């Protein structure tokens, strides 16, 4: 089985394709827990609670790149979709409702300007394959 690179990554937020100049996309999922230990227990034991998730997106900011910059404004909410192998038939597809919780744009002197955006998942990630 062959390994993967991210060269064919597709990422969109609210229908706006933001894949073009990406450098990194880092989605993650988790689960909350509560401690159910009590009394004479010799070890902590846990119950699972609610799923959690977030993602970080980093891209090279382009001249006249206002469409992507505007689409990723803090407080924006909508569908975050990604596909690590692109959108060809049979390739994995993931999507979730997400909220933009942060946007940074450091401006270095001798390097490319990068746009960094954080998303907080607001729901469960749906995993399927193309076409949908």
| Tens digits of residue pLDDT in 81-113 | 999 999 999 999 999 999 999 999 999 999 999
Residue 124: DSSP 8-state = P
What are the E-state strand segments in the chain?
10-13, 16-17, 22-35, 46-60, 77-83, 92-104, 114-121, 126-129
The band of 43, judged by pLDDT with boundaries at 50, 70 and 90, is: very high
Q: What distance, in Å, lies between the first and last C-alpha atoms of the chain?
A: 25
CB hemisphere CA count around 87 (13 angstroms): 10
Query: Residue 1 pLDDT > 80, yes or no?
Result: no
pLDDT at 65 over 80: no
- In the chain, the percentage of residues whose pLDDT exceeds 70 is 98
Q: Which pLDDT belongs to residue 5?
A: 87
| The pLDDT value given to residue 67 | 86
List, in order of start, the domains of the chain with CATH numbers.
10-35+45-129 (2.40.30)
The two three-digit tokens of residue 25, written as one number: 């996309």
- Average pLDDT, integer, range 59-72: 86
State yes or no: pLDDT of 2 exceeds 90: no
């Amino acid at each position: 089985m062959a390994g993967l690179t991210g060269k064919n990554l597709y990422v969109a937020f609210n229908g706006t394709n933001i894949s073009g100049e990406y450098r990194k996309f880092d989605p993650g999922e988790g689960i909350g827990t509560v401690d159910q230990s009590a009394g004479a227990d010799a070890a902590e034991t846990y119950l699972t609670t609610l799923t959690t998730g977030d993602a970080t997106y980093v891209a090279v900011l382009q001249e006249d790149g206002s469409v992507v910059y505007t689409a990723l404004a803090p407080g924006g909410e909508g569908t975050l979709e990604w596909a690590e192998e692109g959108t060809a038939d049979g390739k994995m597809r993931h999507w979730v409702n997400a909220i933009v919780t942060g946007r940074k744009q450091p401006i270095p002197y001798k390097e490319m300007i990068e746009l960094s955006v954080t998303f907080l998942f607001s729901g469960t990630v749906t995993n399927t394959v193309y076409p949908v």
